[in-house]
Amino acid sequence: MKYLTEYRDPQVARALVAEIKKTATQRWVLMEVCGGQTHTIVKQGLDELLGDVVEMVHGPGCPVCVTPLEQIDKALALAARPDVIFTSFGDMLRVPGSDCDLLQVRARGGAVRIVYSPLDALELARRNPDKHVVFFAVGFETTAPANAMAVWRAHELGVKNFSVLVSHVTVPPAMVALLDAPDNRVQAFLAAGHVCTVMGWTEYEPIALKYRVPIIITGFEPLDILEGMLLAVRQLEAGRHEVENQYARAVRREGNQPAQDLVARVFELVDRNWRGIGGIPRSGLGVREEFAAFDAERRFSVGEIRTAEPTVCRAGDVLRGVLKPTECPAFGKLCTPDHPLGAPMVSSEGACAAYHNYGRFRSAV
């Protein structure tokens, strides 16, 4: 596939690995923000290939993992209603709430459907006027434009039986929270390439400056990650701390303006709880008052659902990159993808799930 599979070329990958090893004079600690990047790194064993010069710390860039328990419980309550068709991306179906998950709600008779695009959910609403379709609008800034468009179109077309349950989170506040933590060891970041495709990188410039950390906007294929790591190591070796764009084929400094505009029109910044981390002010998106008719929380009485999240959790340490999945005493024993104890083991993009599925618990490899 053009502009995709070339970035898996083994020969170029080997050359990049060699170049990184040549460039580094000490071991550096890097964090890749995005779950998709974690997936590639662990799947290709990139962190093992470069273990002597780079320590990869896995960031909280998994919207599935960080969706607060509260929002999952609201989703489950909505999905159980006989008048509701609950639609979602596939990722969310196995995430456990306080009591069960969406797959189990489906087993008990709830109408739960996987869709590929939020517009498909809107279309479903138009074709099922006797039901109410709720769409679980989860994701980072990458997905917000799509979800905003679904709300906007519903508004424009006068669709009365469609709403969204929002659990959007934004990256920069999470990065700042990580950097502010006293036990932070991360020296450079591989920023989430697709988030920046939408948002550009202006938000990261003050972060790089204030915290003196290189921030490399990085793609998702093996060559992208490796090149991103190389650029980070070069900056660290030279004592520089700038925002640099590895993912130039997709990302521009200003990002996608029309997308940003519609997101700002439909959503507003709100305080958000991150599962396993806690509350981060102004780190989430909520539906604006003007579009309240399309906010599932306001249309149905699920806004009152409050779930207490334990304030101390190992999953939080993993999401902040302070703990490796393999260092958690429960990893691979009490906590496995079949019986997850925490968020990063539930989602296929979570660090713990990635480590487990790619066999890091088995010392034979």
Partner 1 sequence: MTIACPLPAIDTERIQLGHGSGGKMSAALLRDRFLPHFSNDILAQLGDAAIVDVEGHTLAISTDTFVVQPLEFPGGNIGSLAVHGTVNDLAMMGAQPMWLSAGFVLEEGLPLDVLDRIVRAMADAARAAGVQVITGDTKVVERGKADGIFINTTGIGRRRADFAPAPGRAQPGDAVILSGPLGRHGIAIMSAREGLAFESEVTSDSAALTPLVERLRARVGDAVHTLRDPTRGGLASALNEIAAAARIGIVLDEMSLPIPPAVGAACEMLGFDPLYVANEGVLVAFVPEPLADSAVDALRGHPLGRTAARIGRAVSDHPGMVVLATAIGGTRVVDMLPGDQLPRIC
Partner 2 sequence: MCLAIPGRIVELRNVQGLPMGLVDFGGVRREVCLAYVADQVQVGDYALVHVGFAISKVDEDEARRTWEVLREMSQLDELEQMKEDAS
**Footprint on residues 193-252 left by partner 2 (CB under 8 A):** 193-195, 197-198, 220, 223, 227, 246, 248-252
- What is the Cα–Cα distance from 89 to 355, expressed in whole angstroms? 23
* Residue 18-37 contact track with partner 2, rule CB under 8 A, x = bound: xx--------------xxx-
Q: Which of partner 2, partner 1, none interacts with 195 (beta carbon under 5 to 8 A by kind)?
A: partner 2
Task: Choose one: 1-9, 99-107, 274-282, 316-324; the region binding partner 2 (CB under 8 A).
Answer: 1-9
285 contacts: CB under 8 Å, gap ≥ 6: 144, 166, 168, 169, 170, 263, 267, 268, 269, 270
Cβ 54 vs Cβ 235: under 8 Å: no
Please list, in sequence order, all residues whose beta carbon lies within 8 angstroms of the beta carbon of residue 297, skipping any fewer than 6 positions away. 74, 165, 166, 287, 303
Instruction: Read off the DSSP letter of residue 44.
Output: H
| Residue among 41 and 77 whose Cβ is closer to partner 2 | 41
Residue 69: contacted member of partner 1, partner 2, none (CB under 5 to 8 Å, by partner type): partner 1
**Shortest CB 266 distance to partner 2, Å:** 13
Q: Pick out residues in 117-146 that bind partner 2 (CB under 8 A).
A: 117-120, 139-140, 142-143, 145-146
Helices and strands, counts by H and E, the chain = 17, 11
The DSSP code for 340 is -
Kindly report the number of other CB atoms within 10 A of residue 64's CB atom: 25
In the range 93-122, which residues lie near partner 2 by CB under 8 A?
116-120
Which entry of partner 1, partner 2, none binds 333, CB below 5 to 8 A by partner kind?
Answer: none
CB of 233 to partner 2, least distance (A): 14
3-state secondary structure of 233: helix
Binding-residue pattern over the window 142 to 161 for partner 2, x denoting contact by CB under 8 A: xx-xx--x---x--xx----
Contact (CB, 8 A) for 163 and 292: no
Which one-letter amino acid corresponds to residue 253? R
Minimal distance, residue 115 CB to partner 2, in Å: 9
DSSP E strand boundaries for the chain? 28-34, 54-61, 84-88, 111-114, 132-139, 162-169, 188-192, 215-218, 243-245, 267-274, 278-287
Q: Output 192 or 232, the one with its CB closest to partner 1.
A: 192
- Decide if residue 62 touches partner 2 (CB under 8 A): yes
* Among partner 1, partner 2, none, partner that 43 touches (CB below 5 to 8 angstroms by kind): partner 1
The entry of partner 2, partner 1, none that residue 27 binds, CB within 5 to 8 Å by partner kind: none
Distance of CA 253 to the CA centre of its chain: 21
Task: Say how many residues make up the chain.
Answer: 365
- In the region spanning residues 256 to 275, those forming contacts with partner 2, defined by CB under 8 A, are 256, 258-259, 262
List residues binding partner 2 (CB under 8 A).
1-4, 6, 9, 11-12, 14-16, 18-19, 34-36, 61-63, 89, 116-120, 139-140, 142-143, 145-146, 149, 153, 156-157, 192-195, 197-198, 220, 223, 227, 246, 248-252, 256, 258-259, 262, 349
